[in-house]
Structure 1
């Protein structure tokens, strides 16, 4: 009838007005051709990325990006329930189907759903260990598969081999060492050992920071209620402060220059370990205005030390949006620790510049792809292992030392006491590159955290 025709025309017009998919005309990663889509469509693309044997079609990066980034747009439990519904609906359709070809299609779709779920478990096991609601949703999925009697699918959705991620739940306990003197036999510790143990300590702190911690910070722009991220920033700033205190604890310019030389050696080994974050904290401490103004001390540094400090300040400089650092990071292979502040800044910039949704409430998947490139750099720390044998006694001493905090004013006053203002201002080449204090306090303006005021006790810090 004509009425039926009109209804059909109306439907097609409506579907044209409310698209569920926008194609990506400039793919950023291999196999990702969607720019925006409804959540249901994104899930369908996920399932269609696998063949029934679990092989990624065209080696697509889509599943990796989707599972890494899904918590930006939904809870993991919700995603699991959507995969559950897909499996169930295809099972119901399979029972109703009469034609063999249709039956095969429904069975194949169920298998693809399970292959996608299996990929999730294998590549992001921490999601399941750390999220009880997701684990419960997964068990619900397992029960459904079991009731269907599909042994192939049962083997795919299996949580029994997931390792424990208890270490991500635990926080490093900070030693509240108020008004205490910590004796760290600094001169007896090799620079290489110091760099290695600082790297191990940094890695332990940073790998606990979760996707959700980074996301919450990017959206709320506050450290409140974000203890793991706050701890990493306290460590970074504390290390820079400790370096300044170690230098200023020495009475003569020559002694102070020797401490700076030692920390420059530490920075060199940190660079070799591709630990850019701790390296920035160390170079930031040395470049801080409280030390950079010590002209007599700086004149005692060797030409090699001045040259190396200049090279490192160039490498870690914020010029051209940290261009030199980004190039070095991209060229680094194997274990590495990125500058957390720089990449946090990237996440915030992307989030502010790009909306989460397009017109018609389509999810901006291009934004998720761009964010995923940054998140990969940060979350790789959770699965990487440093090439270091930890020395727990030294790590505990370092933790104590770095946690002894002083105010900027206290440190600057001590700097003035060591070399009063009448001294000639510090040489240009020493303080160029990183502006005074940039690394310790502004390494990415986002990393500002004032420490509690405590009484300065410098005398015995550098025992030995």
Structure 2
């Protein structure tokens, strides 16, 4: 593939698409999977997926006229790779799925079972759960009593629980969500990304609540120490997003002004915490908030 594309000079979508097709040999082995995957992942910035599929259909039809059996099978291998690498796109994008079904129908019409067998869109599982956002209970519904203390959890256990919540929320974000946010500059009509940002804010607020719920300065200092250790474990788990949510909660003005409380925090804990506090200060004590459907930076 490197021999057919000069990536340093830039390429058109058509050139990249041709290069991705030529990256496969007739047996389906791909020579440059990283570049093929990158193109299939990032192409929506430049062209809708349904239009890209239409181009593949056109290339296949043209290759039939040119009697290029090699180009035909390579095109089918690229479609198969696309489906296996990004199956959710084919379940959630109806227009894209219809384009691929049209290509498969053409292959079946020709009696080309070998090529048709490479394109199996019917076995793609449903990914509608990715777009579902949990709804809060109606106001009139009986509420269950739930504890948010988690006092019994060790720092690593709590870090793992928070990381799992982050993972579940992150898994629901699709490329189209990022594209929508960059295009519109807000999370309007983007409930999945809005909920992800809301999780960040909720963790920060929860950290503040856990500290402020304690009646005495020594007790509040113990909670601060506990969350500093949680932050350490989040760093070990490389969960930087939740780490910054915890740091944001600990650095909030409602906590930083508790001078007596901080006097009970050990020097060892302060030594661990200080670099994060400085990093937060250099960022202007900012953290993301979602209000009225928009993401803004709130400064204390």
Give TM-score scaled by structure 2 length: 0.87
TM-superposed deviation, 1:193: 2.5
Displacement after TM superposition at 1:206 (Å): 1.6
- 1:127 and 2:89 matched: yes
1:264 to 228, 231, 237: 228
8 Å contact from structure 1 (residues 247, 259) kept in 2: yes
Instruction: Kindly report which structure 2 residues correspond to 1:398-409, keeping only aligned pairs within 5 A, or say none.
Output: none
Q: Which residue of structure 2 lines up, in the alignment, with residue 51 of structure 1?
A: 25
Indicate whether 1:449 and 2:290 are aligned. Answer: yes
Contact 1:289 1:436 in 2 (8 A): no
Alignment-derived partner of residue 133 in structure 2: 171
Unaligned runs of 5+ in 2: 294-300
Decide which of 186, 191, 213 is 1:222's aligned counterpart: 186
| Native 8 Å contact 2:4 2:19 kept in 1 | no
Superimposed CA distance per residue, residues 434-460 of structure 1 (whole angstroms, 9 cap, x where no aligned partner): 129956xx34xxx332489xxxxxxxx
Alignment-derived partner of residue 236 in structure 1 = 200
Q: CA RMSD in A?
A: 2.6
In 2, are the aligned partners of 1:195 and 1:266 still within 8 Å (CA)? yes
Deviations 1:286-320 (A, max 9, x none): 11222112111111111221111124x1xxxxxxx
Q: Where does structure 1 differ by over 6 angstroms across 4 or more consecutive aligned residues?
A: none
Matches within 5 A, 1:173-192: 173-174=135-136, 183-192=147-156
CA 1:184–1:61: 2 relative to 1, 3 Å: closer
Q: Is the 8 A contact 1:32 1:60 kept in 2?
A: no
Structure 1 residue 81: deviation in Å?
A: 1.3
| Distance in 2 between residues matched to 1:114 and 1:451, nearest whole Å | 46
Q: Distance in 2 between matches of 1:110 and 1:121?
A: 17
Q: Which of structures 1 and 2 has the larger relative contact order (alpha carbons within 8 angstroms, sep 6+)?
A: 1
- Which of the residues 231, 237, 247 maps onto 2:211? 247
Judge conservation of contact 1:288–1:438 (CA < 8 Å) in 2: no
The answer to whether the 8 A contact 2:5-2:15 is kept is no
User: Equivalent residue for 2:45?
Assistant: 72
Provide the secondary structure at the position in 2 that maps to 1:448: strand
What CA distance in whole angstroms lies between the structure 1 residues aligned with 2:23 and 2:274? Answer: 49
Structure 1's 231 and 32: CA in aligned 2 closer, same or farther, altered over 3 A? farther
Q: How does 1:21-100 map to 2 (within 5 A)?
A: 33-34=6-7, 35-57=9-31, 59=32, 61-94=34-67
Mean alpha-carbon deviation: is it higher for 148-157 or for 181-190?
181-190
Q: Secondary structure at the match of 1:240?
A: helix
**Do the aligned partners of 1:31 and 1:60 also contact (CA within 8 Å) in 2?**
no
The offset of 1:109, in angstroms, is 0.9
> If you compute each CA radius of gyration, which structure gives the higher value, 1 or 2?
1
Is the Cα contact below 8 Å between 2:5 and 2:19 reproduced in 1?
Answer: no
Secondary structure of 1:251 counterpart: coil
- Cα contact 1:289–1:437 (8 A) shared by 2: no
Instruction: Say which SS state the counterpart of residue 140 (structure 1) adopts.
Output: helix
**Distance in 2 separating the partners of 1:259 and 1:156:** 57
Secondary structure at 2:117's aligned position in 1? helix
Which of residues 432, 435, 438 in structure 1 aligns to 2:278?
432
Structure 1 residue 240: deviation in Å?
Answer: 0.6
